[in-house]
Amino acid sequence: MKIGYYPGCTLKAKAKNLEDSAIASLKSLGVEMVELERWNCCGAVHNLADDDLVHYLAPVRDLIRAHDQGFNTVVTLCSMCYNTLARANLLIREDEVKRDALNDFMEEENNYKGEVDVVHLLPFLRDQIGWDKLREAVKNPLFDLKVAPYYGCTLTRPREITIDDGLSPLVFEDFIEALGATVVDFPESQTCCGSYNIVSNPEAALNVVAEIVGEAGDREADVLAMSCPLCEYNLGRRQEDAMKDREGATTVPVLYFTQMLAVALGLDPEATRFDKNTEATRKFLEQRKLLVSA
């Protein structure tokens, strides 16, 4: 099976481990991820002003690329790209006036009416591979690994684009179980990590990071798994800053869900790419003998 794949800006740089582990894992499951030609940054955040259309141009151009290249589905790995593309697609499908204005403005492009479906990799695995088939493909079950699933805010909100039940999603939990790992009941799984505030209001972001990581530690999670490079940065790379004033707080390594998948499928370090993770994550995985597949 071949699918259209939209990487986004960060997956070509800081989050190469998210991309490499996903492409290799999907290949081993018989799926070729075909990167869209001439894709551009989606803008990272959805435009929330009703009278502003110009910020839809970037995500809609990406959807036009997917359609022009013959794909009826485009898969994303990054949560923020998923959110931005899916919401732009929703506007195109539901608002005829704005759709016409956007198409008129981009007169050099083919008209787009929302023909492409935007799908995140987690529901793609559920719907196109299936948990039973995934379970069968697992060569290195992640027994004894306790994983806190972290959806963050952009995979399940707003409700119109959620990848599963908006308030009680299970797709991440089912994925973790299919790999043989244990799901940690984690009430902060959909709490925002502070997002872009890490740039301009870092203290505000670190406050909420401390809450999330603290809860994962209290619930004895071995790792926090996620699909967003900004969450990975806030919850992982800034974890020490966030927890420094919290006495007795435990640290929790973070990794991408696709890296767990690659390990469970028995892929090599070129696929798992833990070399790009934090020292704390690598140290933990080394102790648990998960850096190299069994």
CB 213 within 8 A of CB 252: yes
45 contributes a contact to another protein by CB under 8 A: yes
Q: Work out how close the CB of 180 gets to another protein at its nearest, in angstroms, rounded to a whole number.
A: 30
Q: Work out how close the CB of 260 gets to another protein at its nearest, in angstroms, rounded to a whole number.
A: 20
Q: Compute the distance between CA of residue 21 and CA of residue 267 in angstroms, rounded to an integer.
A: 9
Q: Work out how close the CB of 141 gets to another protein at its nearest, in angstroms, rounded to a whole number.
A: 31
Q: Work out how close the CB of 153 gets to another protein at its nearest, in angstroms, rounded to a whole number.
A: 4
192 contributes a contact to another protein by CB under 8 A: yes
The alpha carbon of 2 is separated from its chain's Cα centroid by a whole number of angstroms, namely 20
167 contributes a contact to another protein by CB under 8 A: yes
3 contributes a contact to another protein by CB under 8 A: no
Q: Work out how close the CB of 228 gets to another protein at its nearest, in angstroms, rounded to a whole number.
A: 8
197 contributes a contact to another protein by CB under 8 A: yes
The footprint of another protein on residues 121-150 (CB under 8 A) is none
208 contributes a contact to another protein by CB under 8 A: yes
Name which of 210 and 262 has its Cβ closer to another protein: 210
Q: Which two tokens stand for residue 176?
A: 């973790």
Residue 120 forms beta bridges with which residues?
76
Total count of residues recorded for the chain: 294
CB 197 within 8 A of CB 204: yes
Q: Find the helix or strand (DSSP H, E) in which 69 lies.
A: none
255 contributes a contact to another protein by CB under 8 A: no
Q: Which stretch binds another protein (CB under 8 A): 117-125, 126-134, 203-211, 217-225?
A: 203-211
Q: Which stretch binds another protein (CB under 8 A): 25-33, 190-198, 213-221, 249-257?
A: 190-198
* Residue of 237, 276, 282, 288 interacting with another protein (CB under 8 A): 237
181 contributes a contact to another protein by CB under 8 A: no
Q: Work out how close the CB of 256 gets to another protein at its nearest, in angstroms, rounded to a whole number.
A: 12
185 contributes a contact to another protein by CB under 8 A: no
Contacts 24+ apart (CB under 8 A), 257-260: 257/121, 257/122, 257/172, 257/175, 257/225, 257/226, 257/227, 258/18, 258/21, 258/22, 258/25, 258/77, 258/121, 258/227, 259/17, 259/18, 259/21, 260/142, 260/145, 260/147, 260/176, 260/179, 260/181, 260/225
* Residue of 30, 38, 41, 111 interacting with another protein (CB under 8 A): 41
φ and ψ at 183, to 5 degrees? -85, 130
73 contributes a contact to another protein by CB under 8 A: no
Say which residue the tokens 């190299």 belong to: 292
Torsion 121-126-129-132 (CA) sign: positive
196 contributes a contact to another protein by CB under 8 A: yes
Residue of 269, 279, 261, 268 lying closest to 225 (CA atoms): 261
Interface residues toward another protein, by CB under 8 A: 8-10, 13-15, 41, 43-46, 48-52, 55, 78, 80, 153, 157-159, 166-167, 190-192, 194-201, 203-205, 207-208, 211, 229-230, 232-233, 237
